[in-house]
């Protein structure tokens, strides 16, 4: 087995383990009984527009972190959200799915715009400086870590794979684990969105 294939297998296993471990994030609560997930953000979307947390207030927000060069977990989760929103019908107009990159070095506005074409048109795909991304990831309790190969020209990023649902005020409602069935996600969204 080549070292490149072994590298990808080990990285995928690590991401799966991290996703499982971070599923416990939902038990971290603030003193008022509300789960303390999210916060302010100052990023740029896939159209080049500057956005903040207020940009998406008034809509239900499905938030996940990842990167466009992710070989498996990210496109899978993005497709689950796309299918769930398609099944949701007109209620999908009340939802803004938000994909925040953890790889701003490669995920430029142009790269995100190209990636956006493969998923639901309501997606907002966001990037920013490494410092901005680190701040937002911390607010959402998202883990990520760049893992370089021997050549250093290509790399994967280990990261947690939780998808969050926020209400129109930006408050945490629930989460979806990696691999959630689109039907389950649609059913959950219908439970909250009226």
Residues making up the annotated binding site are: 70, 74, 159
pLDDT band at 9 (very low <50, low <70, confident <90, very high): very low
Strands 144-148 and 42-45, sheet pairing? unpaired
Q: Measure the CA–CA gap between 76 and 177, rounded to whole angstroms.
A: 12
142-172, pLDDT tens digit by residue?
A: 999 988 765 556 889 999 989 999 999 999 9
Of residues 152 and 58, more confidence is placed in 58
What is the signed CA dihedral for 13, 158, 79, 20, rounded to 10 degrees?
60
Listed by start position, the domains of the chain span 3-192
Q: Measure the CA–CA gap between 132 and 162, rounded to whole angstroms.
A: 20
Q: Measure the CA–CA gap between 124 and 44, rounded to whole angstroms.
A: 10
Q: Which residues contact 126 (CB under 8 A, 6 or more apart)?
A: 41, 43, 44, 45, 46, 51, 98, 99, 100, 101, 112
The counts of H helices and E strands in the chain are: 5, 9
pLDDT at 62 over 60: yes
Q: Would you say domain 3-192 falls under CATH 3.40.30.10?
A: yes
Strands 163-166 and 172-176, sheet pairing? antiparallel
Residue pair 94/60 in contact by the 8 Å Cβ criterion: yes
75-116, pLDDT tens digit by residue?
A: 999 999 999 999 999 999 999 999 999 999 999 999 999 999
Residues making up the annotated binding site for Cu cation are: 70, 74, 159
């Amino acid at each position: 087995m080549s070292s490149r294939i072994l590298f990808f297998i080990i990285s995928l296993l690590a991401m799966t383990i991290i996703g499982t471990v971070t599923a416990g994030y939902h038990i971290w609560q603030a003193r008022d009984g509300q789960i303390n997930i999210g916060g302010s953000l100052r990023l740029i979307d896939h159209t080049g527009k500057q956005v903040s947390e207020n940009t998406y207030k008034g809509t239900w927000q499905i938030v996940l972190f990842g990167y466009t060069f992710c070989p498996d977990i990210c496109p899978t989760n993005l497709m689950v959200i796309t299918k769930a929103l398609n099944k949701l019908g007109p209620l999908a107009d009340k939802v803004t799915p938000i994909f925040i990159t953890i790889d701003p070095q490669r995920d430029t506005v142009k790269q995100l715009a190209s990636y956006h074409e493969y998923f639901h048109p309501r997606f907002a795909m966001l990037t920013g400086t490494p410092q901005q991304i680190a701040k937002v990831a911390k607010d959402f309790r998202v883990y990520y870590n760049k893992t370089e190969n021997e050549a250093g020209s290509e790399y994967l990023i280990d990261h947690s794979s939780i998808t969050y649902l926020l209400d129109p005020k930006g408050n945490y409602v629930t989460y979806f684990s990696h691999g959630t069935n689109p039907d389950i996600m649609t059913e959950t969204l219908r439970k909250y969105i009226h």
